Amino acid sequence: MNIRSLRIWPPLLLAPMAGLTHSALRTTLLLYGGVGLLSTEMLSASRLPGENEQLSPYLMKTASERPLSYQLLVTGEEQIPAAIHKLRSLGADCVDINLGCPAPRVRRMGGGSCLMDDFSRVRRILACCRRETAGPMSAKIRLGESFDALKLRDFCVMLADEGLDMLTVHARLRRESFVRRPHWEWIGQIKQWIDIPVVANGGIDSVETARLCLRQSGADGLMIGRTAATTPWIFADIAREVYGAGIPRLELALPDLYATFVEALQRFSPDRRLGRLKEFTHYFAKNYFFGHHLATRVQSSQNFAEARSRAETFFASNDPGKRTSLP
Ligand SMILES: Cc1cc2nc3c(=O)[nH]c(=O)nc-3n(C[C@H](O)[C@H](O)[C@H](O)COP(=O)(O)O)c2cc1C
């Protein structure tokens, strides 16, 4: 898949996830390979220009983390010039606009999914973005408030008309929780309305679901979120099995994988490590039959060293069991 000068191969994208898609997870994923485009967490467009990339836990990265898309949480076009200027200085490979986040605090600010109700503001944001960068520009949406094909079509057509290069669709309505089955077939509809690459997101957690999603959506690429933290080898598996990519197999025992992630967290300042370890462990623990014990012990730790040692104690007496399903 190509968007402007950027080749995304395999067409497997890491989803932006607040608290999860930071440098430590990205470098862990790179050990296995198969990710065509990495992502940051959502970044406040208004705060971004003042962030120090050497110290900011949101911007820190290693040279290997490429190609890397930066997701902007935008509320108005006036934030765009300075934000894009900063992203250019950081060497962003793609700029993604968050139009789908349903979190109340994001909506209260006027960002995320509430922008889908304000066509003219989104139009101004994208037009400004397009003026500021000739590089790849994408957006991520949900399906909307309710199934309203006309509204969704008009919105997607407007995005493409304003110069968007790629659209990612989390195939759920705004209020639908992660336990609801994603509506991948709607992505097929969207593909008929616009002629830019459309990426499917939501509920892809195995080679089988990747195949099913591609069959139902006809999407140009797949974006994976939570499963990146549960089984970081998911991209490599799908790349090999679905896209025929010749990626060497890395066999790493789960405790060693966890230790690698912990090691990568060392580059964050001490006060930022624990929260990130807790967030990751919530998902990683699903590899173990008694994983809820691991998650609870790490969750209730007072500091990083305690969390790490409790995790090691858990690993010493627990073999991975049957995986529980994703929440
Ligand atoms: C902890 C967490 C944080 C998230 N943060 C963001 C975010 O910053 N920006 C965004 O567009 N979506 C965010 N999402 C949504 C994901 O990008 C993705 O759309 C969703 O998890 C569905 O994909 P999955 O089923 O593969 O996890 C977040 C999801 C989770 C679970």
Q: Do residues 235 and 263 both lie within one domain?
A: no
Average pLDDT on 203-226 reads 98
State which of 12, 13, 17 you would mutate to test the pocket of ligand 1, scoring each by most atoms of that ligand within 8 A of its C-beta.
17
Q: Do residues 215 and 278 both lie within one domain?
A: no
Going 129 to 135 to 139 to 140, the CA torsion angle's sign is negative
Q: Do residues 187 and 281 both lie within one domain?
A: no
d(CA 18, CA 5): 27
Ligand 1 centre to CA of 316 (Å) is 32
Average pLDDT on 55-72 reads 96
Q: Do residues 29 and 148 both lie within one domain?
A: yes
d(CA 279, CA 285): 10
- Look at residue 272 in the predicted model and tell me its pLDDT: 87
Last residue in a domain, options 189, 222, 243: 243
Q: Is the confidence at residue 164, as pLDDT, over 70?
A: yes
- When the pLDDT of each residue in the chain is averaged and rounded to a whole number, the result is 95
DSSP state of 117: G
Q: Do residues 170 and 31 both lie within one domain?
A: yes
Which H/E stretch holds residue 132? helix 119-132
Determine, yes or no, domain membership for 237.
yes
Give the start-end residues of each E strand in 116-270. Answer: 137-141, 166-170, 198-201, 221-224
d(CA 104, CA 307): 30
Determine, yes or no, domain membership for 122.
yes
Ligand 1 centre to CA of 250 (Å) is 26
Q: Is the confidence at residue 156, as pLDDT, over 60?
A: yes
Instruction: Tell me which residue of 93, 97, 56, 92 sits closest to 73, measured CA to CA.
Output: 97
Q: Please name every residue paired with 44 in a beta bridge, in sequence order, or none if there are none.
A: 73
Last residue in a domain, options 184, 212, 243: 243
Q: Do residues 219 and 95 both lie within one domain?
A: yes
Q: Are 247 and 274 in contact (CB under 8 A)?
A: no
- Look at residue 270 in the predicted model and tell me its pLDDT: 79
pLDDT band of 325, cuts 50, 70, 90 = very low
Question: In percent, how much of the chain has pLDDT > 90?
Answer: 92
Neighbour count for residue 54 (Cβ, 10 Å)? 7
Ligand 1 centre to CA of 100 (Å) is 9
Write out pLDDT tens, residues 91-129.
Answer: 999 999 999 999 999 989 989 999 999 999 999 999 999
CATH number of the domain encompassing residue 155: 3.20.20.70
- Look at residue 35 in the predicted model and tell me its pLDDT: 98
Average pLDDT on 181-209 reads 97
State which of 69, 226, 227 you would mutate to test the pocket of ligand 1, scoring each by most atoms of that ligand within 8 A of its C-beta.
226
Last residue in a domain, options 243, 264, 297: 243
Nearest atom in ligand 1 to 41's CA: 8
- Look at residue 321 in the predicted model and tell me its pLDDT: 61
Which H/E stretch holds residue 38? strand 38-44
Determine, yes or no, domain membership for 6.
yes
Nearest atom in ligand 1 to 182's CA: 25
Ligand 1 centre to CA of 220 (Å) is 19
pLDDT band of 320, cuts 50, 70, 90 = confident
Token look-up 């911007």 returns 59
Q: Is the confidence at residue 323, as pLDDT, over 70?
A: no
Question: What is the domain extent for residue 227?
Answer: 2-243
- Look at residue 248 in the predicted model and tell me its pLDDT: 93
Pick the residue whose CA is nearest to atom 29 on ligand 1.
Answer: 17
Neighbour count for residue 219 (Cβ, 10 Å)? 26
Pick the residue whose CA is nearest to atom 18 on ligand 1.
Answer: 225
Determine, yes or no, domain membership for 205.
yes
Q: Are 22 and 276 in contact (CB under 8 A)?
A: yes
Write out pLDDT tens, residues 16-40.
Answer: 999 999 999 999 999 999 999 999 9
The catalytic site residues sit at 101
Q: Do residues 20 and 119 both lie within one domain?
A: yes
- Look at residue 324 in the predicted model and tell me its pLDDT: 39
The number of domains in the chain is 2
Q: Do residues 258 and 135 both lie within one domain?
A: no
Determine, yes or no, domain membership for 248.
no
Q: Are 208 and 3 in contact (CB under 8 A)?
A: no
- Look at residue 322 in the predicted model and tell me its pLDDT: 47
The values of phi and psi at residue 95, to 5°, are -115, 125
Q: Do residues 198 and 262 both lie within one domain?
A: no
- Look at residue 297 in the predicted model and tell me its pLDDT: 98
Ligand 1 centre to CA of 313 (Å) is 30
Q: Do residues 225 and 266 both lie within one domain?
A: no
pTM: 0.96
Q: Do residues 278 and 239 both lie within one domain?
A: no
Question: In percent, how much of the chain has pLDDT > 70?
Answer: 98
Average pLDDT on 238-251 reads 96
- The tokens for 139 are 């957006």
- Look at residue 267 in the predicted model and tell me its pLDDT: 83
How far the first Cα of the chain sits from its last, in Å, is 30
How many residues appear in the chain? Answer: 327
Q: Do residues 130 and 261 both lie within one domain?
A: no
Determine, yes or no, domain membership for 101.
yes
Determine, yes or no, domain membership for 249.
no
- Look at residue 319 in the predicted model and tell me its pLDDT: 83
Pick the residue whose CA is nearest to atom 7 on ligand 1.
Answer: 17
Determine, yes or no, domain membership for 325.
no
pLDDT band of 134, cuts 50, 70, 90 = very high
Amino acid code (one letter) for 131: R
